[in-house]
Amino acid sequence: MRQIACAFVFMVSVLLGGIAAAADQGYSYTVKGVIKALPGNGRAVNEILVKHEPIPNYRDEAGNVVGMMAMTMPFYVADIKTIEGLSLGDAVEMVVEQHLKPNFSENVVSIKRVSNATK
Ligand SMILES: [Cu+2]
């Protein structure tokens, strides 16, 4: 009986460890901006430079809502096919998915051209 209890405790801790190591549900942000650079010229194949509008609900690595001001910064797309056909100066709307665990990550999971973003 003692051995069974020990095995059970071990199994539960393995399961909990597995859950803790898995990606969290994360957050997603809809971000508007303008494409300032595309992959190439020293950028990674999935890296774009975007002048983006403020992201008021943006969270930091601790999960606190801190917001992000408007700025020009690199973004990484999850699938490079999603940026095929985009050009410099295109106004876009992106969905950025953010995970805090097990490692902090941010990826553009969708991007589309729009006509009314600020240039
Ligand atoms: Cu930014």
Asked if the structure places residue 2 within a domain, the reply is no
**Alpha carbon of 7 to ligand 1 centroid (Å):** 48
Question: Each residue of 4-51: pLDDT tens digit?
Answer: 565 655 554 445 555 555 778 899 999 999 999 999 989 999 999 999
Asked if the structure places residue 50 within a domain, the reply is yes
Pick from 72, 64, 63, 117: nearest CA to 90: 117
Asked if the structure places residue 3 within a domain, the reply is no
Pick from 29, 31, 50, 28: nearest CA to 39: 50
The tally of domains found in the chain comes to 1
Whole-angstrom distance between the N-terminal and C-terminal Cα of the chain? 70
Contact by Cβ (8 Å): 62, 101:
no
Question: Each residue of 87-97: pLDDT tens digit?
Answer: 999 999 999 99
**Alpha carbon of 63 to ligand 1 centroid (Å):** 16
At residue 23, the pLDDT reads: 73
Asked if the structure places residue 16 within a domain, the reply is no
**Alpha carbon of 72 to ligand 1 centroid (Å):** 6
> What tokens were used for 6?
């020990």
Contacts of 24 (CB under 8 A, 6+ apart): 99, 100, 101
Contacts of 82 (CB under 8 A, 6+ apart): 108, 110, 111
What DSSP assignment string belongs to 60-100?
-TTS-B--B-SEEEEEEBS-GGGGTT--TT-EEEEEEEEE-
Asked if the structure places residue 11 within a domain, the reply is no
Asked if the structure places residue 6 within a domain, the reply is no
Asked if the structure places residue 75 within a domain, the reply is yes
Residue 72: CATH number of its domain: 2.40.50.320
Fill in the amino acid letter for 69: M
Q: What is the pTM of this model?
A: 0.78
Asked if the structure places residue 14 within a domain, the reply is no
Contacts of 53 (CB under 8 A, 6+ apart): 31, 32, 33, 70, 117, 118
**Alpha carbon of 21 to ligand 1 centroid (Å):** 27
**Alpha carbon of 113 to ligand 1 centroid (Å):** 19
**Which domain does 77 fall in, by range?**
24-113
**Alpha carbon of 15 to ligand 1 centroid (Å):** 36
